[in-house]
Amino acid sequence: MNANTLNFSGGPGVLPESVLAATQQAIAEVPGVGLSILGISHRSAWFAEVVAETERNIRQLLKLPDSHAVLFLQGGATLQFSMVPMLLLRGSGKTAEYLRTGYWSSKAIPEALLEGDVRIAWDGQPEAFHRLPTDGELALANDAAYLHYVSNETVEGLQFHGIPGHDGVTRVCDMSSDFLSRPFDPERFDLIYAHAQKNLGPAGVTIVIVRRSLLEHVPDGLPALLDYRAHLAANSIYNTPPVFAIYVVLLATRWLLDEIGGLEKMAAINQGKAAALYQAIDASQGFYRGWAAPANRSLMNVVFKLATPELEAAFLAESAQHGFSGLGGHRSLGGIRASIYNAMTPQAVGLLRDFMQAFAARHGA
Ligand SMILES: *Cc1c(COP(=O)(O)O)cnc(C)c1O
């Protein structure tokens, strides 16, 4: 195990070793092209095919129908907090509904308020974001501009294991930290966005999957770069795109298809990894305190606390001595967060579980 394999960072996250090796090769010289990936024109036929193959791979992984377009944009997930309400809320006279389930969904709401009316359809903050709503708790309007939610709250480690809301309403989802970690039915979504740097590649590119019919009613006066139609018409090469980041996402989608064998297999691996860590938490008799309610536990971010800040500091220091990194909780929450994205291996997760058990034994569980 090298330092990269034991990197439990919340993001940018770990990438598969084969992807890192191919990336290293591409920085020197892309096979068959003879140039560095950092110096290849985005207007070359080669790069157009990189974009096209990445889209094909995503379509194949998700069984995505042609009713939905795939775009590669910049500005991170954060720009989507604005682009979504610019498209769907501005001038609509309607209200957008947001599920406020943690740090990231909370960040999306002020941006939507700049464009129109927002209703917080469920608010987890009074309970300090320890759980997600049940279907029965959601009283959603039929005439909302759209419903926005975050499928995996990366900071708190809360993940929806079903799809909230009714299918009559326009459903928008931020999947930044669990996109391509499991299969789902794309037809139940109208707009999905996910930046690459948690599960799929380096920072710099954000994947947007949008139902084409949504783009028939775009408000006037949007800057071209903030208008999805401009990117669609230009096959995501409207201006200079992040060539390098898109290439690494291509390599990651090839890895998912060829080495992992698709999203069902990826999901089974991810379930096994998460189960190992949650079992260690549950078996620790309160030494480790899981943050998320058990029904809402994330398969991507395992968040827990120890009894005191001193014990948490000791956990981080000793884990670092054993070669682990990235285990400190998000600055807004503290505690410990083990991010176990697609590329985190079961072997590395097993080592972390062993470390957790040994640490608990040493420190009095
Ligand atoms: C990390 C994260 C973001 C922020 O993404 P940027 O690319 O930094 O703008 C948004 N949403 C979710 C769910 C995240 O995990």
Domain 17-260 classification at class level: alpha beta
Catalytic pick among 122, 178, 190, 198: 198
- Res. 59: pLDDT tops 70: yes
What local confidence, expressed as pLDDT, does residue 364 receive?
Answer: 80
What local confidence, expressed as pLDDT, does residue 273 receive?
Answer: 98
Split at pLDDT 50, 70, 90, the class of 365 is low
Share of the chain above pLDDT 70, in %: 100
Query: Structure tokens of 77?
Result: 């997930």
CATH for the 262-362 domain, from 3.90.230.10, 3.30.460.20, 3.90.1150.10, 3.40.640.10: 3.90.1150.10
Pocket test for ligand 1, best of 82, 103, 154 (most atoms within 8 A of CB): 154
- Res. 124: pLDDT tops 70: yes
| Mean pLDDT score, 179-208 | 97
User: Which residues, 6+ apart, have CB-to-CB distance to 15 below 8 Å?
Assistant: 4, 23, 201, 202, 248, 252, 343
Pocket test for ligand 1, best of 105, 107, 129, 195 (most atoms within 8 A of CB): 195
| Mean pLDDT score, 80-91 | 98
15-54 as b/e, with b when 16 or more CB fall inside 10 Å?
bbeebeebbeebeeebeeeeeebeebebeeeebeebbeeb
Looking at the CA of residue 78, tell me the nearest atom of ligand 1. 9
Catalytic pick among 104, 122, 255, 291: 104
**HEC profile for 125-191?**
HHHCCCCCCCHHHCCCCCCCCEEEEECEECCCCEECCCCCCCCCCCEEEECCCCCCCCCCCHHHCCE
Query: For 269-278, what is each residue's pLDDT tens digit?
Result: 999 999 999 9
What local confidence, expressed as pLDDT, does residue 311 receive?
Answer: 97
Domain boundaries, the chain: 17-260, 262-362
| Mean pLDDT score, 57-69 | 98
Query: For 153-164, what is each residue's pLDDT tens digit?
Result: 999 999 999 999
> Does residue 227 have an active-site annotation?
no
Average pLDDT over the chain, rounded to an integer = 97
- Res. 249: pLDDT tops 80: yes
Split at pLDDT 50, 70, 90, the class of 184 is very high
- For atom 10 of ligand 1, which residue has the closest CA? 77
Query: For 292-333, what is each residue's pLDDT tens digit?
Result: 999 999 999 999 999 999 999 999 999 999 999 999 999 999
Torsion angles phi and psi, residue 121, rounded to 5: -75, -20
What local confidence, expressed as pLDDT, does residue 1 receive?
Answer: 78
Query: Structure tokens of 356?
Result: 């957790």
- Res. 2: pLDDT tops 90: no
- Res. 89: pLDDT tops 70: yes
Distance 198 CA to ligand 1 centre (A): 8
Q: Which residues line ligand 1 (CB under 6 A)?
A: 11, 76-78, 104, 150, 154, 174, 176-177, 195, 198
What local confidence, expressed as pLDDT, does residue 229 receive?
Answer: 97
- For atom 3 of ligand 1, which residue has the closest CA? 77
